[in-house]
Every structure is written in C-alpha cells, then in structure tokens.
C-alpha cells in the first residue's frame, strides 16, 4: 500500500466530511432565524445516520457483488473483510476507499433537506433519509462506480454528477412537491437571515470540493492535480458568471448570488473534473450559472413548486448540465477510463451514454423518493409540521432550542 496515496485519500475524506457541516451553515444562513437550528440538524443527522448505514450495508450494497447490474450484495455487511490487506476492489486499499466513499454517502441525502426546510417533521426526514439511501443512493453508486449497468455501457461520472447531484436534486424536487408549499412561499416577506453564514458555508464547500473531486483520482497523482484545477476553474467562472447575470438583471451583484454561483460551478464540473481539459472548465462553469439562474428565477416561478433553497435548480440542473458537458468535452488522453472522446471531437458514443445515464438517474430518483415518502408516511403519519408549528418555527417546535435567544423581533 502506497503511504502517500493513502495519506491523500484520508485527507480528501476529511475534506469531504467538512462539506456536510459547511452545507448546514450554507443552508441555515438562507432560512429564517426561527428555523436555523432545524436546518442545521437536517444536515447534521446524516453525519450519524449516513455513516452507520454505510458501515452496516451501504458499502457492501454499493461495491460488493452484482445483482442484475443494479445493486451489490451483502458479502461485506459490516465491512466484513480484512481492512488492513484487502485490495480486491479499490486502490490504495478497500478500507481506504470505503472511508472516502462514506463521506459521499453522508452528504448526498443532506442536500435534499434544503428543498423542504421550514415545514418537514424531523422524524419524517430521518426515516426518509434512511430509506432513500437504500432505494436510490446505493443502487446508483453501484450502477455508476461499482461495476453495474451504467459503468458497463461506458458512461462516466468522475466524482458524482449522477450519483450525488442529479439524484439529490431530482429527489428534492419530488419531495418538495409532495410536501406542498410553505405558507410564506407565495409572497415571502423575508430574506436570508445571515448572509455572512451563507458565504462561509459556500467557501468551506469550495475547500472541501477539492477533496471531493481531486480525491476521486484515488491517489496523489497527475489526475488529482488535473481534477483540482478544473474544479477551481469552474467554480471561479460560475461565480463571475452569476455576478454578471445579476448585474445585467438587477444592477446589483449580491454575496448570496456569488455564493450560489460558486456552488453551481462546483456541481457542474464534478462529473467531468477528471475527464475534460482545463480550458473547458471555464465554459462549463460560465454556462452553469445562467442555466441554473433561469430554472430558479423563471421555471420555478412558472410552475409554483416550493424548492425552498433551490436544490433542484442548483444540484439537479447543475448536475444534468455537467453530465452533458462531460459527454461533449471529454478527452481519452486525460483519463484512459473514458472509452471515447467527447462530442466536440467528432464522436457521439459517450454523449449518448451520458444522456442515458442522466435519464436512469432521474427515474431512479423519482421512484425511490416516492417509495421513501410512502415508508415515512406509514411510520410517522404526517410528513409536515402543523400550521401552528410552522408559524412558531421548527427550532422551537421540533428541537426546543433557539439559535438566537436574545432576538425578540418578528421573523
């Protein structure tokens, strides 16, 4: 086992771990004061639940065996292999790989929480998260990275465009529609309650994303360096692009907008970070922001769904665009695991397989979300808090705490 590669993978794992608390702060800053704690808790729950599920069955269902190209088996239930020596699946060794992948399994369901803040019961979200991981995340991980169907047809996803962002974004939209809108969503009279918190969360996400994408090279190597640079380039381009859009539309670029843009750029480059040339990361990021901006400001308003923190607009749409762009710009010379060059170089094989993978991820997310919702309803009956509790705020009604006990104003 190479000590340098192992050190980089453990460092990357710690960086990806940090992304979940970063996401919690990013989301919490965007909500009302009276829902800040509940929003953070909705992300934080996956630090415990996601990790334990991954150890018990998640890693095994994702990466051991193959049942119909869709899911693994339980051969590695409870990580039942020689953690010190086993290298049957991944480099630098199987346990290191399991640790790294665990952090992905932790943050992905946390992304969904942003769509349903301020109205979903915490117990219902807890059950939903567990079932969703079993029905959506583990099968998608197996299909894309664990030797399943999508890997076999030749689609590529370097660090989680399909596995993480499309699944969570589409699932967030479905769950938001099922729950219904917040009372305040039609004519909201509030703005993000803590903009500096939003930027802090986004900046820490940017930092953690270097482990997310560059760590997916599975070693301290040239591909990790390449993925690191494409990641930063896309985030920078998307941030500037969002600022330009706001300047054109409202004449006032905002810090919330800049923070949102950088996250969208990170989402968009994720599937192609280790496949596309650095120059293309500028285009991928620069186009991601106006595409997502359109869905957030026009499509969402037209259809009236209450995706509270725009998880679908950012992660779903950003992930879809990133998957398509990967099919356009990929070069086999950068990463030999790609079977074809992208559409830009005269070959449509990869592009078509990217579209197929996006369609599969979307269908799995919709069906799996509906199943998880059904199970949660059977157990807790009501997915939503009462109107009175929504008015009081979920910090008090669900947790008995206040993020700002000295604040006595109207929220």
pLDDT in tens, the chain (411 residues): 788 999 999 999 999 999 999 999 999 999 999 999 999 999 999 999 999 999 999 999 999 999 999 999 999 999 988 767 766 666 788 999 999 999 999 999 999 999 999 999 999 999 999 999 999 999 999 999 999 999 999 999 999 999 999 999 999 999 999 999 998 765 555 689 999 999 999 999 999 999 999 999 999 999 999 999 999 999 999 999 999 999 999 999 999 999 999 999 999 999 999 999 999 999 999 999 999 999 999 999 999 999 999 999 999 999 999 999 999 999 999 999 999 999 999 999 999 999 999 999 999 999 999 999 999 999 998 999 999 999 999 999 999 999 998 777 666
Residue 132: the pLDDT is 98
pLDDT at 407: 75
Contact criterion met (CB below 8 Å) for 75 and 159? no
pTM over 0.85: yes
Phi-psi region of 194 (alpha: psi -120 to 50; beta: other; left: phi over 0): beta
CATH of domain 3-392: 1.10.3430.10
- On whether the CB atoms of residues 91 and 10 are closer than 8 A, the answer is no
**Start-to-end Cα distance in the chain:** 55
- Other beta carbons within 10 angstroms of residue 86's beta carbon come to 16
Exposed/middle/buried for residue 400 (C-beta within 10 Å: 0-12, 13-18, 19+): exposed
Residue with tokens 């769950």: 175
CB 161 within 8 A of CB 105: no
Angstrom distance (rounded) from CA 212 to CA 260: 18
Q: What is the structure's pLDDT at 30?
A: 97
Given a contact cutoff of 8 angstroms between Cβ atoms, the answer to whether 163 and 140 are in contact is: yes
Q: Give me the phi and psi of 288, to 5 degrees please.
A: -60, -40
CB 327 within 8 A of CB 350: yes
**Are the C-beta atoms of residues 273 and 158 closer than 8 Å to each other?**
yes
407: number of Cβ within 10 Å? 11
Q: 375-387 burial, b if ≥16 CB within 10 A, otherwise e?
A: bbeeebeebbbee
What are the tokens at 279?
A: 């120059």
Domain locations along the chain: 3-392
Task: Please enumerate in sequence order all residues whose Cβ is within 8 A of that of 371, keeping only pairs 6 or more positions apart, or say none.
Answer: 131, 135
């Amino acid at each position: 086992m190479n000590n340098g590669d192992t050190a980089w993978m453990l460092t990357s794992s710690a960086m990806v771990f940090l992304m979940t608390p970063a996401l919690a702060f990013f989301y919490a800053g965007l909500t009302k004061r009276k829902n800040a704690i509940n929003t953070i808790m909705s992300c934080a729950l996956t630090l415990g639940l996601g990790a334990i599920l991954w150890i018990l069955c998640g890693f095994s269902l994702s990466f051991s065996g193959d049942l119909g190209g869709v899911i693994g088996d339980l051969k590695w239930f409870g990580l039942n292999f020689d953690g010190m020596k086993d290298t049957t699946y991944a480099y630098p060794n199987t346990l290191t790989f399991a640790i790294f992948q665990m952090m992905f399994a932790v943050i992905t369901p946390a992304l969904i929480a942003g769509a349903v803040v301020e109205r979903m019961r915490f117990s219902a979200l807890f059950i939903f998260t567990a079932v969703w991981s079993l029905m959506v995340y583990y099968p998608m991980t197996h299909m894309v990275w664990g030797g399943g169907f999508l890997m076999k047809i030749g689609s590529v996803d370097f660090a989680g465009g399909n596995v993480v962002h499309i699944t969570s974004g589409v699932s967030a939209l479905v769950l938001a529609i099922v729950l219904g809108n917040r009372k305040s969503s039609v004519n909201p009279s509030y703005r993000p309650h803590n903009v500096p918190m939003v930027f802090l969360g986004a900046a820490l996400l940017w930092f953690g994303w270097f482990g997310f994408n560059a760590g997916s090279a599975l070693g301290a190597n040239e591909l990790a360096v390449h993925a690191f640079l494409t990641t930063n380039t896309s985030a920078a381009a998307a941030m500037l692009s969002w600022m330009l859009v706001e300047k054109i539309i409202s004449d006032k670029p905002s810090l919330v907008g800049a923070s949102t843009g950088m996250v969208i750029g990170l989402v968009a480059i994720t599937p192609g970070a280790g496949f596309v040339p650095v120059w293309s990361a500028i285009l991928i990021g620069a186009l991601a922001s106006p595409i997502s901006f359109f869905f957030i400001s026009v499509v969402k308003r037209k259809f009236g769904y209450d995706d509270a923190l725009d998880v679908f607009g950012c992660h779903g749409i950003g992930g879809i665009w990133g998957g398509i762009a990967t099919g356009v710009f990929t070069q086999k010379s950068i990463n030999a695991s790609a079977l074809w060059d992208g559409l830009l170089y005269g070959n449509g094989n990869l592009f078509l397989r990217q579209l197929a993978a996006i369609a599969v991820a979307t269908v799995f997310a919709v069906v799996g979300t509906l199943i998880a919702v059904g199970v949660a309803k059977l157990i807790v009956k009501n997915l939503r808090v009462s109107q009175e509790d929504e008015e009081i705020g979920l910090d008090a009604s669900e947790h008995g705490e206040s993020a700002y006990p000295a604040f006595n104003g109207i929220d």
